[in-house]
Amino acid sequence: MIRARPIARPAELRLLAWVAAFSLAGYVAVVAAVSGRFAWYEIAVPAAVLAVFAALHLFLVFIGFRGDQLLMPLAVGLTGIGFILVERLAPALVLQQLSWLVIAAGAFCITILIPRDVSVLARYKYTWALLGILLLISPLLPLVGREINGARIWVGVAGVAQFEPWELVKLALVIFFAAYLEEYREVLSTPPRRLGPVPVPPIPYLLPIVAMWLVAMLVMVLEKDLGATLLFFGIFLAMLYLATGEPFYVVIGLAMLIGGGFVAYHAFAHVAARVDVWLAPFGSDLRFDQAYQLTQGLFSLANAGILGAGLGNGMPERIPVVWSDFVFDAFTEEVGFVGALALLALYLVFAYRGMLIALRAPTVFLQLLAAGLSFIVAFQTLVIVGGNAKLIPLTGITLPFVAYGGSSLVTNFMLCALLLRVSDITARVRR
C-alpha cells in the first residue's frame, strides 16, 4: 500500500479550497450574527478544522494514493457545514466535536493504510457477521448498555464516554453482505419456480432473508430503534437485489417489513407512538408532548422560504436536541430552499460517485462493497430528511457527516476511506 513517491492530487486540492472558502464564510456569519461582533481569534476553530482537512489531503498525497479525488472534498465539505451548524446550535459542544474530528481523521488514515488488500476482508466474512451481531446486541447487555431518550442503542461507562455501536455495525454488515452475496450470488439468482405469475422460491433461498428480518425485528422491539431497523434491512435488500437482480426478493422483503411493522404498531407502544406522531403531530394530545420536537421542526421548515432567515438569524434553538436530530430543519430555516437544495445535491454527488466507483471495481466483492457503502449514505440521508420533513416516521438516524455526534463522524470517515480504497485498487488494476 505505501508507495514511496508522492502523487499530486490537484483536483482534490482545488475542491478543498472551495470547501475552505464556504466553511469560513459560514462560520464567520454564524459567530457574527449570534454575538453581534467578530473577533479575529474566533477564527481558530474553523482554522483547526480546515487544518485537519489539509492534513488528510497531504496524507493521501504523500502515500502516493491513486484513488478518487472527488469523494474526500465532498465528505469534508459536508463536515464543514456540520461544524457551522454545531457552532450555531450547540456552541458548547464545538471543542468536543473537534476532538471527534481528529479521531475520525485518524480512523480515516488507519482505514487507508491497514488492510493491505481490501479483498482480504472477504475472507473473514463470518467474523464480520459475528462482530456485527455482537455490536448490535451490546446495548442490551447489563453493565455497559445505556438507554438514552427512549432508545437503548448506546454503550458506555456512565459519565465518561458513550458510543453508538450501531454506527460500526453498518460497516461490519456491509462487508459481510458483500462477501456472502459474492459467494452465493449464483445460487440465489437461479430463477425460481413459478406458479402462474407468482414466483415460488424454494425454501432454502428464503432462509437468509428470514434470518435478517428476525434480527431487524429484534432490534426494533428490544432496542426501540426504528432507524437501525430500516437501515439494516434496507441495506440487506438493496445489496441482495444488486447481487441477484431478482425483484421478487425485494417484494418479499418489503412485504415482510410492512407486515412486521403492522404487528409492532399494534403490539408495542414505542412503535405506535412514532407512527401517531408522524400521522398527526398537531393533534391536541401530542403537539406539546411527544410531537413537540417534530412540530417545532416543521415550524422551522415553514419559516425558511427561498433564501431563509440568514445564518444565525433563525430560531432553530426552539427544537429540542436540534444539533443531532434536526440539523436539516435548522440548516433549511437559516439558508432556505436554496441552501437545502445544495446540501441534498452534495449527498447526491457523493452517492453517485460511490456508485460509479462500484461500477468500475474489478471484482464482485469490491463492487458490492462500494455499492453498499454508497447506499448507506444515500439511504440515511433519505430517512432522516424524510423524517425531519414529516414524509416518513421520524427515526434516530443521523445526517451523515453533518449532524453532531462522535460515533457517526468516525464511522462515516471510515466509510469514505473504504470507498477510496476500492477506487485506488481500480486505478491500479486499470493501469
Partner 1 sequence: MEITFAAILWGVRIAFLVLLYLFLIRAFRALHRALAEERVAVAARQLGIAVLVVTRSHAGGPRVGDRLPLRAISSVGRDAGNDVVLNDEAASAKHAIVSFADGEWWLEDAGSTNGTLLNGSRVWDRERLHYGDEVAVGRIALRLEREQ
Task: Choose between 335 and 368: whose C-beta lies nearer to partner 1.
Answer: 335
Find the shortest distance in angstroms from Cβ 19 to partner 1: 6
**Residue 315 lies near partner 1 (rule: CB under 8 A):** no
* Residues 169-198, interacting with partner 1 (CB under 8 A): none
> Cell 453482505 belongs to which residue?
177
User: 18, 126, 262, 282: which one contacts partner 1 (CB under 8 A)?
Assistant: 18
Task: Choose between 103 and 307: whose C-beta lies nearer to partner 1.
Answer: 307
Find the shortest distance in angstroms from Cβ 265 to partner 1: 40
Q: How far is CA 426 from each of CA 13, 118, 306, 362, rounded to the nearest angstrom?
A: 21, 11, 42, 6
User: 67, 260, 281, 339: which one contacts partner 1 (CB under 8 A)?
Assistant: 339
Retrieve residue 363's grid coordinates: 471484482
Per-residue mark of binding to partner 1, 49-88 (x: CB under 8 A): --------------------xx--xx--x---x-------
User: 141, 255, 338, 429: which one contacts partner 1 (CB under 8 A)?
Assistant: 338
Binding span for partner 1 by CB under 8 A among 28-36, 99-107, 195-203, 269-277? 28-36
Helix (H, G, I), strand (E, B) or coil at 424: helix
Binding span for partner 1 by CB under 8 A among 18-26, 43-51, 102-110, 289-297? 18-26
Neighbours of 196 (CB within 10 A): 6
**Residue 311 lies near partner 1 (rule: CB under 8 A):** yes
**Residue 15 lies near partner 1 (rule: CB under 8 A):** yes
How far is the C-alpha of 246 from the C-alpha of 231, rounded, in Å?
20
How far is the C-alpha of 372 from the C-alpha of 379, rounded, in Å?
10
DSSP output for 244-308: H--HHHHHHHHHHHHHHHHHHHHH-HHHHHHHHHHH-TTSTTTTTTTTHHHHHHHHHHHTTTTT-
Termini Cα distance of the chain: 16
Residue 3 bridge partners (DSSP): none
Task: Choose between 78 and 376: whose C-beta lies nearer to partner 1.
Answer: 78
The burial of 90, by beta-carbon neighbours within 10 Å (0-12 exposed, 13-18 middle, 19 or more buried), is given as: middle
Find the shortest distance in angstroms from Cβ 78 to partner 1: 11
User: 3, 6, 7, 14: which one contacts partner 1 (CB under 8 A)?
Assistant: 14
User: 58, 148, 222, 342: which one contacts partner 1 (CB under 8 A)?
Assistant: 342
**Residue 258 lies near partner 1 (rule: CB under 8 A):** no
Nearest-10 Cα torsion for 254, 257, 260, 262: -70
Binding span for partner 1 by CB under 8 A among 88-96, 280-288, 307-315, 407-415? 307-315
Binding span for partner 1 by CB under 8 A among 8-16, 53-61, 389-397, 403-411? 8-16
Task: Choose between 81 and 273: whose C-beta lies nearer to partner 1.
Answer: 81
* Orientation angle between helical segments 226-244 and 364-388, nearest 10 degrees: 140
**Residue 250 lies near partner 1 (rule: CB under 8 A):** no
User: 55, 114, 258, 345: which one contacts partner 1 (CB under 8 A)?
Assistant: 345
How far is the C-alpha of 332 from the C-alpha of 301, rounded, in Å?
6
Question: Which positions ≥6 away from 64 have C-beta within 8 Å?
Answer: 2, 3, 4, 5, 6, 7
* Residues 349-368, interacting with partner 1 (CB under 8 A): 349, 352-353, 356, 360
Q: Which among 372, 377, 423, 383 has a CA at the least distance from the CA of 401?
A: 377
Binding site for partner 1 (CB under 8 A): 11, 14-15, 18-19, 21-22, 25-26, 28-29, 32-33, 36-37, 69-70, 73-74, 77, 81, 307, 310-313, 335, 338-339, 342, 345-346, 349, 352-353, 356, 360, 430
